[in-house]
Structure 1
Amino acid sequence: MTAFDTLSLRPEIQAALAQLGHHTATPIQARAIPHALEGRDILGIAQTGTGKTAAFTLPILQRLGAAPSALPLRMPRALILTPTRELAVQIGESITNYGVGLKLSHTVILGGVGQGSQVKALANGIDILVATPGRLLDLMTQGHVRLDKVEVLVLDEADRMLDMGFIHSLRKIMAKLPANRQTLFFSATMPADVSELAGKMLRDPLRVEVTPVSTTAERIEQKVIFVPAAEKRHVLVDLIRGDAGMQRSIVFTRTKHGANRVSAQLEQAGIEAAAIHGNKSQNARQKALDGFRAGTVRVLVATDIAARGIDVDGVTHVVNFELPNEPETYVHRIGRTARAGASGVAVSLCTADGDERIYLRDIEKLIRKSIPVGERPEATPQAAAAR
């Protein structure tokens, strides 16, 4: 256990952490922050929920806060790249909270919304820029932002960036960054393409790995229910209706259309639900996420890409309405529950034959355990009669 007050952080940052009730660093924070404060490049292998946002934002605030600099406009001193809009917004909120006592400015630029306010913020001058790659490249091309003076670069969720096809945008952005910089590189997994990218970006990095990707949280109760594909939506409704403990649940589908359909079916059954995926506007996505946090939305139905931006504590259940075809994705999905010391439940609805049975076998091979088979929930008399 490492207390934040032993990490040589500025008094203003210590005060902000105390005000937020954050007294003890997570393993990745305790291992990465001291070396990041010394200027080392960091290769962090960590899943969502391990506290990696603070592991890179606190050193940035420390470095920039210790040496205020009046840079030319449109030239940020730190750049944080992240794959999804939701994650960019949450990182921006963390910078606001942790840096409340420092005279540093930041802004978040992302797609899905008008660029006017983002261009204005850049024109006024900022210290820290949080951005999604596509919108950043657009604004660079238009001449609204330059990266000549970037001192610290953060690449967050690098594996998901490559999954989403951002590699070409990343290469163009990298070409505009100064070679003499500190780079903090974070990824939940380290496949060959991500490892190659890290090798090009990092100089003598410290490798920090806190949770092997092939392990799942011990506090997560996992089970699989075998059910015909055509009956999955009925089983999902029965599952949620029959368990009062499912107060904040994420349901995963493979496609955007599937997310919309499942969300609509839950709403028709009287269960407060909202879908979140790439075709939704930024405002609609944020509204759904805010409702989920506030408890007015009981079930969030999400695709994998959209879910990478969901950072919400208190998720009681994760339901795989459809099993993913990549076993690592299963680990990412169920990691949305059992965070911050809590327990959680992960339920997978699997067809008895076909591709999903193969996906299940691959998942069990990766996590090195068999997932217990659960019983199909009973339908209420009213629901059974309606069918």
Structure 2
Amino acid sequence: MPFSNLGLSDPILHAINELGYTAPTPIQKQAIPIILSGKDLIATAQTGTGKTAAFVLPILERFNQERTLRGKRVRALIITPTRELAIQVADNVAQYSRHLNLTSMAVYGGVDVEPQKERLIEGVDILVATTGRLLDLAHQRALHFDELEVLVLDEADRMVDMGFVGDINKIIDRLPEARQNLLFSATMSDDVRDIADRFTDSKVASPAVEISVSPKTKAANTIHQWLITVDKDTKSALLSHLINEQQWDQALIFIEKKHAAAKLVVQLAKRGIVAEAIHGDRSQAMREKILADFKSGKLKYLVATGVAARGLDIGELSRVVNYDLPFKPEDYIHRIGRTGRAGATGEAISFVAMGDFKNLCAIESRLDQIIERKEIDGFAVRKEVPVSVLNFVRTSKPPMPKSGSQKSRSNTAPPQNRANAAHKSRGKKASVDKNDDRPNKHIWG
């Protein structure tokens, strides 16, 4: 199906054709007609599926009519969880609307508020914002919502994770009830469902349409995932080895802590590899410059904390590295979703060190698949992780034998249960302490 069949006008079709868009993705096929009809929408779509265009293009189509906009007013409000995502979405809006007479901008913290206030004086058709700066501008009366027509919550699950529910509720309280509501989320947890219910409460008589284009527990099938078991103190050497030996053209490297990100950049530099880091302590101007260099290809290796896990849309990014395995399976999915986007292929490599086994079990359970293991000469740990999450057999503490009983504790478990547990194990067995869910230290030697 071509984009022309979705009810989009020639200026928009011309813009997306110039950007190389050939056919709509599944989320775009489903969402665009619903949004054009004016209905509320709750969409579950994993990252990298083209969801930004799914809500921006029909908004542009709806606004593609001459209309006088009063000062300090906005017609569409797109709320994002991070500054990076706000910048990315605003850039997409500008590209898609290049042949339309519409205005757009992004407002976010970390930069001077005065230039943003000045741009809002004449009003803006489409405003992309983070919650904190948006509330600040509203409090200063630099922005009014009485002419708002469309509200979009992008990556609602991330907003929940970052503790923005209170801010979202404050924003909704300021908005007119007669509006169209669009919510996009990679997962639909109970907390996100609560937001969706409140979000669309203004149209109880006309329930929101719900769509889901992919299982919430899956990563894109265009991503080749594999892992390496490695001792923690040889991670930087392993990364350098892979970059040089496999001649990586570019890599986005995720790490947990800010100070560790800075340290890794220094370690790579000592081995002749130029990298930069972005994290919460770097200025917004510096983060924007580094991201621009990475997107243009001027910078090949970017070390990032979770601040960049979502919202980065880097054309043809071929590789993501989990230098530190994330604690939450959702974070793993969002991280590797920076590659293999919009049908392109990508590669996701994870370093698994001592202490990561439970995280790995959770990730593989969420993915419902075993991540491929690879060995790299010179970087093997003393003993590798078990070959399957099924080796992680949960055992409960058996009851204490009654006084006088001659039965040993090892025989208290029913024979059938022991047989089932043995049947579930495959590959190299993991030793498990009966009083603890964690694998025994002998897994690692």
Deviations 1:17-62 (A, max 9, x none): 2222223111101100001000011111112211111111111111
Q: Residue 99 of structure 1 corresponds to which residue in structure 2? A: 97
Alpha-carbon distance in structure 2 between the residues aligned to 1:179 and 1:186: 19
Higher relative contact order (CA 8 A, sep 6+): 1
Compared with structure 1, are the counterparts of its residues 301 and 86 closer, same or farther at alpha carbon in structure 2 (3 Å cutoff)?
same
Match 1:238 to one of 235, 238, 241: 241
Aligned partners of 1:248 and 1:314 also within 8 Å: no
Match 1:117 to one of 99, 115, 118: 115
Show the 5 A alignment for 1:1-387.
2-66=1-65, 68-202=66-200, 203=203, 204-244=207-247, 246-351=248-353, 353-354=354-355, 356-378=356-378
Q: 1:95 aligns to what SS in structure 2?
A: helix
Structure 1 gaps, min length 5: 380-387
Aligned partners of 1:137 and 1:173 also within 8 Å: yes
Aligned partners of 2:73 and 2:148 also within 8 Å: yes
Aligned partners of 2:46 and 2:219 also within 8 Å: no
Alpha-carbon distance in structure 2 between the residues aligned to 1:260 and 1:186: 33
Letter in structure 2 aligned against 1:227:
V
Compared with structure 1, are the counterparts of its residues 212 and 300 closer, same or farther at alpha carbon in structure 2 (3 Å cutoff)?
same
Deviations 1:79-133 (A, max 9, x none): 0111111211121111111112221111211111111211011012211111111
TM superposition shift of 1:187: 0.6
Aligned partners of 2:309 and 2:334 also within 8 Å: no
Alpha-carbon distance in structure 2 between the residues aligned to 1:211 and 1:280: 35
Q: 2:214 aligns to what SS in structure 1?
A: coil
TM superposition shift of 1:212: 1.2
Deviations 1:145-174 (A, max 9, x none): 111211000110111112122112111111
Alpha-carbon distance in structure 2 between the residues aligned to 1:360 and 1:291: 32
Which range is displaced more, 191-200 or 274-283?
Answer: 274-283
Alpha-carbon distance in structure 1 between the residues aligned to 2:246 and 2:147: 54
TM superposition shift of 1:278: 2.1
TM-score (norm 2): 0.81
Aligned partners of 1:140 and 1:146 also within 8 Å: yes
Letter in structure 2 aligned against 1:44:
A
Specify the structure having the higher radius of gyration (Cα). 2
Alpha-carbon distance in structure 1 between the residues aligned to 2:296 and 2:17: 24
Alpha-carbon distance in structure 2 between the residues aligned to 1:132 and 1:313: 24
Q: Residue 383 of structure 1 corresponds to which residue in structure 2? A: none
Alpha-carbon distance in structure 1 between the residues aligned to 2:281 and 2:50: 28
Alpha-carbon distance in structure 1 between the residues aligned to 2:93 and 2:270: 40
TM superposition shift of 1:378: 4.6
Alpha-carbon distance in structure 1 between the residues aligned to 2:312 and 2:16: 22
Q: 1:250 aligns to what SS in structure 2?
A: strand
Compared with structure 1, are the counterparts of its residues 304 and 377 closer, same or farther at alpha carbon in structure 2 (3 Å cutoff)?
farther
Which range is displaced more, 335-344 or 46-55?
Answer: 335-344
Alpha-carbon distance in structure 1 between the residues aligned to 2:126 and 2:181: 14
Alpha-carbon distance in structure 2 between the residues aligned to 1:282 and 1:77: 27
Aligned partners of 1:238 and 1:377 also within 8 Å: no
Alpha-carbon distance in structure 2 between the residues aligned to 1:91 and 1:349: 31
Tell me the C-alpha RMSD between the 2 structures: 1.5
Deviations 1:355-384 (A, max 9, x none): x111011111111111122113558xxxxx
Alpha-carbon distance in structure 1 between the residues aligned to 2:60 and 2:285: 29
Aligned residues: 374
Alpha-carbon distance in structure 2 between the residues aligned to 1:72 and 1:20: 32
Alpha-carbon distance in structure 1 between the residues aligned to 2:243 and 2:216: 29
Structure 2 gaps, min length 5: 380-445
TM superposition shift of 1:14: 1.7
Q: 2:373 aligns to what SS in structure 1?
A: coil
Q: 1:44 aligns to what SS in structure 2?
A: strand
Aligned sequence identity (%): 44
